[in-house]
Amino acid sequence: MKMVDEEERREIQSALEAWEKGPVAKTVSRFPERREAFATPSGITVKRLYTPLDVDSLKYNRDLGFPGAYPFTRGVQPTMYRGRLWTMRQYSGFATARETNERFRYLLEQGQTGLSVAFDLPTQIGYDSDHPMARGEVGKVGVAIDSLADMEVLFDSIPLDRVSTSMTINAPAAVLLAMYIAVAEKQGVPMEKLRGTIQNDILKEYVARGTYIFPPQESMRLITDIFKFCSEKMPLWNTISISGYHIREAGSTAVQEVAFTLADGIAYVQAAIDAGLDVDKFASRLSFFFGSHSNFFEEVAKFRAARRLWARIMRERFGAREDRSCRMRFHTQTAGCTLTAQQPENNVVRVTLQALQAVLGGTQSLHTNSRDEALSLPTEESVRIALRTQQIIAFETGVTDTVDPLAGSYFIESLTDEIERRAMEYIKKIDEMGGAPRAIEKGFIQREITQSAYEHQRLVDSGERVVVGVNKFVIEEGHTFDYMRVDPEAERRQIERVRSVRASRDQSAVDDALAALRAAAEGTDNLMPFILDAVRAYATLGEICDVLRGVFGEYRAPDVL
């Protein structure tokens, strides 16, 4: 940071050497350090001490700058949390639309400021609830949505012009977005007023999350169709949430999380540019999603590094002219994979620290996990504690009172630099392979992630990496938790519901809309208006996806292990 001139540099250098040879050597000879070498989980060496010498190459204006301005290292808004706190957004949804609607209204009453919809797996994979593959899965990990009728119930009495809604939906994102637009229409809210996010990030589904339907090329078309549609009609809508969270959950390191997420981001931007969009027209609506894992400083630095690297990529690689196109806004979720089934109360502490990291890293919204999620779906009480955790950080700790409070820490800045550098190396490698979609097809990204996951597990098994309550400080325990259970009758009820929707709608309108959609899919028209028409006619999610399956085919995973 050029905090020191040449002379002072030399003074520090010699003082540092004297300290190493003197007091340190003496202490270490009598009391050896706990380990020979220290490193972050990404493998970045952690030194005993960081000094101005470690940030010598940083140029303040170039590398850190000011909040709200390029390269956004210190945050995406000028005043950050002094102005407005992050959005507290708990991912939830289970069973049927009716029950989820009740949970949403409860959360809004509790002070939550945004909704986040979890869909069940059949919905995420484009199957109606009565599809044979849906058996046992309906309403399990989220809410089942088969048609507009379910969506109407889901947002009943929730004014869509006043909440922002995030939907974790990818392969059929266009369909769920269309349903959201249609519900808003019925409430009298025009689509240009809608605020929210669809995840819409198919590339990470292929490598880490698995809810893909169509092959990459066709999926990319759907995504760019959404970009185009929203750039014209939904200026407040986040068209994609490019997600590192699931890559991290699948076992990647922090460096890999940044690298693979940004490589995916590059692929989306390139696809949109190739489809004829002006980068400054859509880039500001891209958003990101990261995990917040266990290693405190590495995680804080990761958020800052990702922000800076993305800004540079947008400007230098894609020639974005406007600052807001270079601004990486992201949602954070505390890392589900760090939750332990053993001594689950400890998870509250883990989540607290991880949430604090995300706030110190400048997140725009945050989901805090519930303590019991390694065991089952969270209970209402657990969800409340998780939300309260955010509120305590926001209102009691004072960490929100100044922007980017850890900046200037020799260690944090040095780590930020190193993470950016290592992530860039990966991105170069992926570029050489022909970009993220090719690297995925070759299985490169999947293999890297699985290798890291395996190494992590080996380190935990050997005790080298401590997980409290799992491989150290273990106790005999009987579980005393109440489990949240999805009513087994919910599946049957939902099946009846979708069948009655099919029986009561105007079938010829559905047939016409689906035929028009098929024709459009075979051609090159933007599919969003056709999907919207089909949704309005109460065509089901499964029917719409089947039309697209017929034209696009289905994705088959490579045999990567």
Partner 1 sequence: MSPSRKIRVLIAKPGLDGHDRGAKVVARALRDAGMEVIYTGLRQTPEMIVRAAIDESVDVIGLSILSGAHMALFPRVMELLRKEGADDILVIGGGIIPEDDIPELKKHGIAEIFGPGTPLDEIVDYIRKHVKV
Partner 2 sequence: MRVEDLVRGVLEGKRRPLARLITMIENEDPQASEALRLLYRHTGRAHIIGITGPPGSGKSTLVTRMTAEYRRRGRTVGIVAVDPSSPFSGGALLGDRIRMQEHSLDEGVFVRSMGTRGHLGGIARATSDVVRAIDASGKDVIIVETVGAGQSEVEIIDIAHTVVVVDVPGSGDDIQAIKAGIMEIADIFVVNKMDLPGADRKVSEINAMLDLDQKMGEWRPPVLLTNGRTGEGVPELVDKIDEHMVFLRESGLLEEKGLQRSRDELHQIMEYRLTRELLQHLRGRPEYERAIKMIAQRHDDPYSVAQRLIAEFLVELSRSGGGDEDGG
| 249 interface partner picked from partner 1, partner 2, none, CB below 5 to 8 A per type | partner 1
Judged by DSSP in three states, 380 sits in helix
Contact between 208 and 247 (Cβ < 8 Å): yes
Asked if 488 touches partner 2 (CB under 8 A), the answer is no
The neighbour count for residue 492, using CB atoms within 10 Å, is 12
The span from the CA of 273 to the CA of 492, in Å, is 45
Using CB under 8 A, which of 46, 460, 509, 551 touches partner 1?
460
CA distance 125 to 147: 14
Choices 122-130, 183-191, 285-293, 521-529 (CB under 8 A): range interacting with partner 1: 122-130
- To partner 2, the closest distance from the beta carbon of 214 in angstroms equals 12
**Looking at beta carbons only, is 71 or 216 nearer to partner 2?**
216
Minimum distance from residue 299 beta carbon to partner 1 (Å): 19
Spatial separation of the C-alpha atoms in residues 174 and 540, rounded to whole Å: 13
Q: What single-letter DSSP state applies at residue 78?
A: S
- H or E stretch including 320? none
Examine residue 132 and tell whether it contacts partner 2 (CB under 8 A): no
Q: According to CB under 8 A, which one of 343, 443, 456, 499 is a site residue for partner 2?
A: 443
Residue in 429, 442, 456, 493 binding partner 2, rule: CB under 8 A: 442
Binding at 443: pick from partner 2, partner 1, none (beta carbon under 5-8 Å per type): partner 2
* Residue 78 interacting with partner 2 (CB under 8 A): no
Q: How far is the CB of 130 from partner 1 (least distance, A)?
A: 14
3-state secondary structure 340-351: CCCCCCHHHHHH
In the complex with partner 1, the residue whose CB is nearer, 249 or 533, is 249
Identify the burial level of 409 via C-beta atoms within 10 angstroms of its C-beta, where 0-12 means exposed, 13-18 middle and 19 or more buried.
middle
> Of the candidates 173, 238, 234, which has an alpha carbon nearest to the alpha carbon of residue 200?
173
Binding of partner 2 by 43 (CB under 8 A)? no
Angle at 540 between CA 225 and CA 494, to 5 degrees: 135
What does the alpha-carbon distance between residue 519 and residue 527 come to, in Å, rounded to a whole number? 10
Q: Is position 205 an interface residue for partner 1 (rule: CB under 8 A)?
A: yes
Q: Does 136 bind partner 1 (CB under 8 A)?
A: yes
Is 343 a binding residue for partner 1 by CB under 8 A? The answer is no
Q: Identify which of residues 232 and 274 has a Cβ nearer to partner 2 in the complex.
A: 274
DSSP string computed for 23-71:
IIHHHHHHS--SSS-EE-TT--EE-S---GGGGTT--IIIII--TTSTT
Selected from 4, 12, 69, 453, the binder of partner 1 by CB under 8 A is 453
Can you give the binding site for partner 2, defined by CB under 8 A? 215, 442-443, 553, 556-561
Can you give the binding site for partner 1, defined by CB under 8 A? 121-122, 124-125, 132-137, 140-141, 205, 208-212, 249-251, 337, 339-342, 374-377, 450, 453-454, 457-458, 460-461, 467, 470-471, 479, 483, 486, 557, 559, 561
